[in-house]
Amino acid sequence: MKALVYHGPGKFALEEKAKPTIKASTDAIIKIIKTTICGTDLHILKGDLPAVSDGRILGHEGVGIVDQIGANVMNFKVGDKVIISCISSCGSCANCKKGMYSHCEKDGGWILGNLIDGTQAEFVRTPYADNSLYLMPAEADEESLVMLSDILPTGFECGVINGCIKPGDIVAIIGAGPIGLSTLLTAQFYSPAEIIVVDIDNNRLEMAKSFGATQVISNQDGKAIEKIMSATKNKGVDVAIEAIGIASSFDICQAIVAPGGHIANIGVHGKPVQLNLDKLWSKNITLTTRLVDTVNIPMLLKTILAGKVHPKKLITHHFALKDAVKAYEVFENAATEHSLKVIITNS
């Protein structure tokens, strides 16, 4: 089968690989229909996640058709169309029972495209299929549901829930990439008074406006902090959400959060950042980190089917699997290509 294979920092290629096989009775083999690229995949290519080994098939998002099932898979049958969660959950360990699927104690969690082969291929093996796949309703749009694998629950769980957004809050999202925009879409469930979105890419800021941002701020001049403090009459924001994964965006969050506020970190940090406790210790600040658990996929699926949220708006480009390397080029060069999420079709 064709698959996109990682060979160390900055090195990857579309190659022929063996089709995966059932390894455990709880596995399923899924024929990929559509997949996509995540910002985390770019972090892998930069060498920020050294646990990813040479030869690993990339990708942790997608929808597909069940091709084979293990003997103990009860909730799915061959031919079912499914959403693949980026997180694999045994469903029975202590962490899974409390909804912390990302820290499954039975070799689950974020393993697809990380510790085992992923979804940017014609087929993928999904461990713990009963707890890591979701049936795809016949009436649902396939491309919208690709966004349920990771970015929509990530924005919601790591940004909105961890940020404790409440009606009337002033919220700032630092980063208008797909994760930041997913946070913007789902933050509106809670009717904040203001949602300020910050980025250096004017195209993404225009997209943020169309997605519901009440104000957008360009940080091309490096003055986002001053602009946000001016916009909030020097009070700062109730919730500051870091959605990039670099030191400068985390610094902005620390500088703009109001007393009693929340900093919710979403971004994948490949390097240490400075925690300014000398300024934060007395401000009653809550700082949260999180790896997505995807426990909210069923709820978010209902909101999509009801037309309450429209993740398809995040999709800007389409590619066939044979052009996956080009898809990465377009995704990585977002400013010049005006790209957000790209759909890669297995055809």
Domain count, the chain: 2
* Domain boundary, last residue among 271, 288, 305: 288
Q: H or E element: which one contains 184?
A: helix 178-187
* Domain boundary, last residue among 243, 258, 288: 288
Same domain, 38 and 80: yes
Q: Give the model's pLDDT for residue 328.
A: 97
Under-50 pLDDT residues of the chain: none
Same domain, 24 and 88: yes
Same domain, 217 and 327: no
Same domain, 118 and 157: no
d(CA 21, CA 1): 12
List, in order, residues 6 or more apart from 158 with CB less than 8 Å away.
264, 265, 266, 288, 290, 291, 292
Q: Contact 172/228 with Cβ under 8 angstroms?
A: yes
Same domain, 334 and 300: yes
d(CA 268, CA 49): 9
d(CA 278, CA 184): 30
Q: Give the model's pLDDT for residue 270.
A: 85
Same domain, 6 and 118: yes
CATH code at 308?
A: 3.90.180.10
Q: Contact 148/310 with Cβ under 8 angstroms?
A: no
Same domain, 228 and 324: no
The tokens of 30 are what? Answer: 């899924």
Same domain, 144 and 157: no
Q: Contact 193/209 with Cβ under 8 angstroms?
A: no
Full 3-state SS string of 85-98? CCCECCCCCHHHHC
Q: H or E element: which one contains 33?
A: strand 28-36
Same domain, 135 and 187: no
Strand partners, 83: 63, 134
Q: What is the DSSP code (8-state) at residue 134?
A: E
Same domain, 187 and 166: yes
pTM across the whole model: 0.96
Q: Which residue has the tokens 């091709």?
A: 67
CATH code at 272?
A: 3.40.50.720
Give the number of C-alpha atoms closer than 13 A to the C-alpha of residue 167, restricted to the C-beta side. 0
List, in order, residues 6 or more apart from 296 with CB less than 8 Å away.
153, 156, 157, 161
d(CA 133, CA 219): 39
Q: Give the model's pLDDT for residue 182.
A: 97
φ, ψ (nearest 5 deg) of residue 245: 100, 35
Same domain, 63 and 110: yes
Q: Give the model's pLDDT for residue 139.
A: 86
Q: Give the model's pLDDT for residue 95.
A: 98
Domain span including residue 218: 153-288
Identify which of 213, 243, 245, 211 has the alpha carbon closest to the alpha carbon of residue 231: 213
Q: Give the model's pLDDT for residue 93.
A: 98
* Domain boundary, last residue among 241, 263, 288: 288
Give the number of C-alpha atoms closer than 13 A to the C-alpha of residue 225, restricted to the C-beta side. 12
Q: Give the model's pLDDT for residue 347.
A: 77
